[in-house]
Amino acid sequence: MIYFSTNKSSIPVSIKQATLHGLAPDGGLYIPSEMPRFSEAELRLLEGATFNNIAFAIAKKFIGAEIPPDQLGDIVENCYNFDTPLVRLDANTFVEELFCGPTLAFKDYGARFLARLTGYFAQEEQRLITVLVATSGDTGSAVAFGFQGVPNTRVVLLYPSGKVSRLQEQQLTTAGGNVHALEVRGDFDDCQRLVKQAFVDPQLNQSLTLTSANSINISRLVPQSFYYAWASMHIRERFGMKDPLFSVPSGNYGNLTAGVMAKMLGFPIGHFIAASNANDSVTRYLDDGRYDPHPTITTLSTAMDVGNPSNFARLRYFYGNDHAAMGRDITGISVSDQETIATIHSVYDRFGYVIDPHTAVAFRALERYRTDGGGNLELPGIVLSTAHPSKFIETIQDTLRREIDIPERLSSLLEKKKQATLISSDYRELASYLDNLDR
């Protein structure tokens, strides 16, 4: 499999090069030269398959012969040693709980796979890889835990000061070892801009081998397609339902893009809802075909506070810059903070089920889609639950007026000392920090 840039002015590369470099030299995002597809016969062979069997089948399509099958199988087995529950709330509404990994967030699916691929390729190359990551919360913690102790790698996390929850910040800043945290005076878009500048800085790239663990890295995006594929097969086998509708909490749009990839691979998926908060650049594009990103707005669903999402470039490429074609697969719905709070309440009152603010955005978007009658109302709806509610304990407890249990693996972090370097949003400070990382 060959990968090339969405900007079309860089030479094609292998999956190893795409993984180790993250961003193409022309600033574009790597995409497969041709999207692989499962035949009907191949899909029939996956009926009744485990999550890991489906993950391995997809990974082989994108990695080809670059990693021997037995070693790729070991990578998959080591990554996904936790469950992916599909919880039924009512006749047609399900929640796919993607928070059962080590950091209690969906980013574990992509970060753990990427960490092991990076470690595998770094060992082959016998060089030190610096993983540079912008995070609005859960990406950073998943990357920190995923790469912790991986040979030939080190991680530099950039997160916006005061714009992540306390538990998220503790996860970001207490990993230690080969993981370094930078607290940026700015918002997530500032962090993302700094990372992109570093990747196209020729002087910096002469001295360091940089890659990204954000969803701009194709090897973090591919494994996020695994849980869409698995759910689309599992809901048919267990509940007799087909072609589910996925409601996706959307910030940087990597999660939604991975879902689109799963559909393009041939898995039986009906439609997508791109559920956004007040940062609705893509929602507005889906409405009228004009992409006009606005400055980032701070909301309760902080991990989705992204004004100019990177992965929108991939989405546009996959749909040939055709607004109408994208709209046939994706409906954009923006949800306010007031609706988010009300949804946390209503889901608990109706089902006794506690959801975090990001899941609430997706749940409310599904409700509005069904109420507005914008599509096939008989489709089973799967809400992606991207974080354990305890990661946003202040918001949940203030909303429900009840105590929320914090899993021990999170509560133990509160006792640890935060270790982070404060920098401004001036790129020169980041470049200086990276230049002096070994000194």
In this prediction, residues 394-420 reach a mean pLDDT of: 88
Q: Taking the domain 85-104+221-400, which CATH number applies?
A: 3.40.50.1100
In this prediction, residues 135-141 reach a mean pLDDT of: 79
| Backbone phi and psi for residue 144, each to the nearest 5 degrees, phi listed first | -55, -45
Identify which has the larger pLDDT, 342 or 252.
342
In this prediction, residues 122-133 reach a mean pLDDT of: 89
Tell me, yes or no, if 107 is annotated catalytic: yes
In this prediction, residues 257-286 reach a mean pLDDT of: 97
Residues 404, 100: contact at Cβ < 8 Å? Answer: no
Q: Give the start-to-end residue ranges of the domains of the chain.
A: 85-104+221-400
What distance in Å separates the CA atoms of residue 326 and residue 314, rounded to the nearest whole number?
Answer: 12
- Residues 48-60 as b/e (b if ≥16 CB within 10 A, e otherwise) read ebebbebbbbbbb
Q: Which of 57-61, 344-348, 351-355, 377-381 has the lowest mean pLDDT?
A: 377-381
pLDDT, one tens digit per residue, over 287-306 is 999 999 999 899 999 889 88
In this prediction, residues 251-264 reach a mean pLDDT of: 96
Close Cβ partners of 365 (under 8 Å, ≥ 6 residues apart): 247, 273, 275, 333, 335
Per-residue confidence (pLDDT) for residue 314, from 0 to 100? 95
The rounded mean pLDDT for the chain is 92
Per-residue confidence (pLDDT) for residue 274, from 0 to 100? 97
pLDDT, one tens digit per residue, over 176-227 is 899 999 999 999 889 989 998 998 899 998 889 888 887 889 999 999 999 9
Per-residue confidence (pLDDT) for residue 412, from 0 to 100? 86
* CA 194 to each of CA 158, 261, 380: distance values in angstroms, whole numbers, following the listed order: 9, 28, 41
Please, what is the end-to-end C-alpha distance for the chain in angstroms? Answer: 39
Question: Model-level pTM?
Answer: 0.89
Q: Inform me whether the pLDDT recorded for 65 exceeds 70.
A: yes
Q: Inform me whether the pLDDT recorded for 439 exceeds 80.
A: no
pLDDT, one tens digit per residue, over 141-153 is 888 888 988 888 9
Per-residue confidence (pLDDT) for residue 376, from 0 to 100? 63
Identify which has the larger pLDDT, 187 or 379.
187
Catalytic residue among 16, 60, 107, 196: 107
Q: Inform me whether the pLDDT recorded for 174 exceeds 80.
A: yes
In this prediction, residues 412-417 reach a mean pLDDT of: 86
> In 3-state terms, what secondary structure has residue 97?
strand
Tell me the β-bridge partners of 181: 157
Per-residue confidence (pLDDT) for residue 236, from 0 to 100? 94
* CA 314 to each of CA 4, 254, 317, 328: distance values in angstroms, whole numbers, following the listed order: 11, 9, 5, 17
Identify which has the larger pLDDT, 235 or 404.
235
Tally of CB atoms within 10 A around 14: 15
Per-residue confidence (pLDDT) for residue 167, from 0 to 100? 81
pLDDT, one tens digit per residue, over 69-113 is 999 999 999 999 999 999 999 999 999 999 999 889 999 999 999
* CA 369 to each of CA 40, 156, 344, 356: distance values in angstroms, whole numbers, following the listed order: 30, 39, 18, 20
Per-residue 3-state assignment (H helix, E strand, C coil) for 368-404: HHHHHCCCCCCCCEEEEECECHHHHHHHHHHHHCCCC
